Structure 1
Amino acid sequence: MQNFECTMNNCGSEEIVEAANIAISNLLPTKSRSLYDIAYNRFKKWCAEKNVQVYSENVLLAYFSENAKNYKSSTLFYG
């Protein structure tokens, strides 16, 4: 998972930094984290194969469109 750590340089006061870092660490439920990490790593691998350097809506649409060719719609979430 990408690290979006909040620091004094990008978030402001120490209180804001601490609150933001706690919120970031709790974004994903423990139960779902491993599935998220697997899906995210597949996406990053696909981006590397396609030489994608900047993530955008168009990149996500292309990724999902390509996956839709290989998976049934009912299982696409897990692909």
Structure 2
Amino acid sequence: MDIKEKFGLKVKKLREIKELSIEHLANISDVDRNYISDIEKGKRNVSIIIIEKIIHALDTDLATFFNDKSFKK
């Protein structure tokens, strides 16, 4: 699994834990819903600006988001 897939799965997991639809996450992060869908599927190479928007909308921070065993080899 590559980093895009790992990132997408983590976004999806947190979104589902917070009971947010893709549409709602798109609205609160100001990121297109189709783009978020592609991120969750591991199809997008996401910029740091988009990462920050999504992580902020998921009510977490970069350190917490990436300090997870799923990002370690």
TM range (shorter): 0.3 to 0.5
* Greater relative CO, 1 or 2 (CA 8 Å, sep 6+): 2
Give the TM-score normalised by structure 1: 0.32
TM-score by length of structure 2 reads: 0.34
